[in-house]
Amino acid sequence: MNEQAVKDEKDREQKWKQEVQRCRLAQKRMLQRVADKIEAERKQDEQRHAHERRRKDAGFEFLKDWPWEWFCSMNLPSECTHTYAEVKLKKWRIQLATNEKIQIAYLGIFNTVPHPHIHLVALGTNSMGQSLYSISSGRSEKYWSEIARQRAVIGPITHDREKVYRYIADKNNPSGLSEMISPYNKKLLERKKIK
């Protein structure tokens, strides 16, 4: 080979090495951008999960402030709205007050997953000193089924209170898919609040 051909070959080889090096550097930068993006998304997910955990823990702690007597799981028709749920709850509590002669108070969550339903914790009292423990939860379920045309499961909270509260706060409070039911009977809630 003549000198020029050798020189040209070395130049091509040098250019090829530079191109390979440039490609490797570009690939390294791209991989670093991808890694940085993945890390940023991981941190965002971590922050979202931490916020969600704090929100649920706050709900759990809030529920512990009262001596709840009943846990109520009340189904609603599909395509039901929060407003519809509130209207049906009002009818139910009026029927309880009328038929059972008891004043109730409650807190709860309206949830649309897997279908519209309400989870409430309730307490009650009347002029004879009775509480919800002395009222038939079966009759209360019947009132709900007559009003909402759906099934309800209502029962006394006699033990494992924290499991009930955790169930409501964790399992039935998905962000964006649930809404708090308007607390009812704030005067009774204030009277019964655990100091």
Residues 172 and 188 occupy one common structural domain: yes
Q: Which CATH number belongs to the domain containing residue 121 in this structure?
A: 3.30.70
Amino acid at 185: N
Residues 36 and 103 occupy one common structural domain: no
Residues 3 and 14 occupy one common structural domain: yes
pLDDT along the chain (195 residues), means of 10: 79 85 86 82 74 58 83 93 94 94 92 89 92 92 94 90 77 69 92 85
Residues 1 and 49 occupy one common structural domain: yes
pLDDT in the model for residue 164: 80
Distance, in Å, from the CA atom of 179 to the CA atom of 83, rounded to the nearest integer, reads 10
Residues 52 and 73 occupy one common structural domain: no
Residues 48 and 93 occupy one common structural domain: no
Burial state string for 50-73 with b = 16 or more CB within 10 A and e = fewer than 16: eeeeeebeebbeebeebebbbbbb
**Residues 78 and 116: beta-carbon distance below 8 Å:** yes
Residues 3 and 43 occupy one common structural domain: yes
Whole domain around residue 53: which residue ranges? Answer: 1-63
Domain boundary residue, one of 17, 42, 63: 63
pLDDT in the model for residue 172: 62
Domain boundary residue, one of 28, 63, 98: 63
Residues 59 and 79 occupy one common structural domain: no
pLDDT in the model for residue 47: 72
pLDDT in the model for residue 176: 63
- How many structural domains comprise the chain? 2
pLDDT in the model for residue 53: 60
Distance, in Å, from the CA atom of 24 to the CA atom of 22, rounded to the nearest integer, reads 5
Residues 103 and 145 occupy one common structural domain: yes
Residues 125 and 84 occupy one common structural domain: yes
Amino acid at 78: S
pLDDT in the model for residue 93: 95
**Residues 96 and 140: beta-carbon distance below 8 Å:** yes
**pTM for this predicted structure:** 0.69
Residues 53 and 86 occupy one common structural domain: no
Residues 152 and 116 occupy one common structural domain: yes
